Amino acid sequence: MSNDGAPAPLDRQSEPTPPPPSQPAPGNASDGSVLPHSNGNSTNDNGGQQNGVMVPSNVTHRLRLNPNADHKPDNYEDLDLDFSPFLFSSLERYLPPNLLPLSRDVKVRYMRDILLRYSPESERIRLQKHREYRQKIISNYQRLHRELYTMHATTFFVPSFLKAINENTEQGFRNIMSEPTPGIFTFEMLQPRFCEMLLAEVENFEKWVHETKFRIMRPNTMNKYGAVLDDFGMETMLDKFTEEYIRPISKVFFPEVGGSTLDAHHGFVVEYGMDRDLDLGFHVDDSEVTLNVCLGKQFSGGELFFRGVRCEKHVNTETQSEEIFDYSHVPGRAVLHRGRHRHGARATTSGNRINLLLWCRSSVFRELRKYQKDFSSWCAECQREKKERQHQSVAAAKLELLRRGETAT
């Protein structure tokens, strides 16, 4: 599709390697009951009792469809785990109620057994190689600004954003946001000093890569310049960024695409300019919710163009006039939108533009989506088709009533 909305093939922007395995969904029941998972070969947990509570064996491992919103999960960051500690914390809310008060070790074994069932051996090998790749970078790269690697909210975020997060209400969020077109929210977010430090850190990392001739993976399949922040030590900080500062907003504005269950992320920076990526083709992101924040520097051009939200089936359908929206970047200002909101970036005509991207994902939503056929709660084309079917149904009913009236006379 061209920038003006004319149909053309659309790309799916994704990581250069497959994303981490999805968190298993509890099935497709709708009553919140506890559902069994398929039986695997793992024997990590053979059942037993703890504190008088029977701990199920791996044969009967189950999750709940709906999370326990009032439960405060344990922190798993100090453990050496096969999967992200953030994923365990998120998954814990879906455990059966009788397991929630048990020890962390019991819950880890229980959740790990389920995760391994949904992760084929080839994927586990790939993940292990990626962990080794990251560890090699982290062990050798000398950090420039160590304060970036742990969350310091008052240093990172502007006061108005923190105030809205603390209030945690729709009105509080709307007080700091603009919604120039449905589903796209812009707001002041990052402190200038944070932007400066992150820019310097990325430049320092790129310098290290050049000097050591270390071969790194770029952010995704479409950007040839930039760096994956998770790969050189920022994963834990970005976990908190997602959980504590993006998920509360997404829960309010994007619940229909898993905004309340975001449990994974892919964090990176992209670089645009005459000697970098020049522009970015029309695409959708490999995310449920995308945060895009301009860090700087001096530049012209590089506007984002948005062209409507689509499911996979309708990704290449025609753009409606009301879906056309262009956005000009401002350093420190964030854009938040659904990952399935089709968009691209026009050429940066002078200077250099560097942006922070956070692809936020919900493994629960991704699993449940496999069982759905109707996405009219968020896909504009599905909505149009549904309205057309309803219109045709009403018209057919009127014709039938008219026919019956004529028959009766």
pLDDT at position 82: 76
pLDDT band, very low/low/confident/very high, at 383 (cuts 50, 70, 90): very high
In this prediction the pTM is 0.75
Q: What is the mean pLDDT of residues 127-148?
A: 92
Whether the per-residue pLDDT at 16 is higher than 70: the answer is no
CA 151/CA 244 separation, integer angstroms:
10
At which residue do the structure tokens 């959980």 appear? 243
Torsional class of 357: left (φ above 0), alpha (ψ -120 to 50), beta (otherwise) = beta
Question: How many CB atoms are closer than 10 A to CB 61?
Answer: 27
By three-state DSSP, how is residue 119 classified? Answer: coil
CA 87/CA 265 separation, integer angstroms:
10
**Which region among 216-220, 258-262, 290-294, 405-409 has the lowest average model confidence (pLDDT)?**
405-409
Give per-residue pLDDT as tens, 347-373. 999 999 999 999 999 988 888 888 888
pLDDT at position 66: 79
CB 346 within 8 A of CB 301: yes
Q: What is the mean pLDDT of residues 285-305?
A: 95
What residues are paired with 269 via a beta bridge? 227, 356
Reference 272, options 194, 148, 357; nearest CA is: 357
CA 116/CA 93 separation, integer angstroms:
18
CB 262 within 8 A of CB 288: yes
CATH superfamily of 144-366: q2cbj1_9rhob like domain (2.60.120.620)
**Which region among 14-18, 82-86, 105-109, 170-174 has the lowest average model confidence (pLDDT)?**
14-18
Reference 293, options 338, 340, 329, 264; nearest CA is: 329
CA 303/CA 328 separation, integer angstroms:
5
CA 378/CA 401 separation, integer angstroms:
34
Distances 155 to 150, 159, 196, 294, 364 between C-alpha atoms, Å: 11, 10, 12, 17, 32
**Domain edges within the chain:** 20-118, 144-366
Give per-residue pLDDT as tens, 224-248. 899 999 999 999 999 999 999 999 9
CA 118/CA 280 separation, integer angstroms:
34
**Which region among 85-99, 112-126, 341-355 has the lowest average model confidence (pLDDT)?**
112-126
Whether the per-residue pLDDT at 6 is higher than 60: the answer is no
Q: What is the mean pLDDT of residues 131-144?
A: 93
Distances 58 to 28, 109, 116, 117, 363 between C-alpha atoms, Å: 21, 9, 11, 10, 22
CB 344 within 8 A of CB 3: yes
In sign, the C-alpha dihedral spanning 145, 149, 154, 156 is positive
pLDDT at position 169: 97
The strand ranges marked E within 182-327 are 184-188, 226-228, 264-273, 280-285, 289-296, 299-301, 304-309, 324-327
CA 254/CA 382 separation, integer angstroms:
17
**Which region among 89-93, 260-264, 268-272 has the lowest average model confidence (pLDDT)?**
89-93
Query: Which token pair is 173?
Result: 């969020």
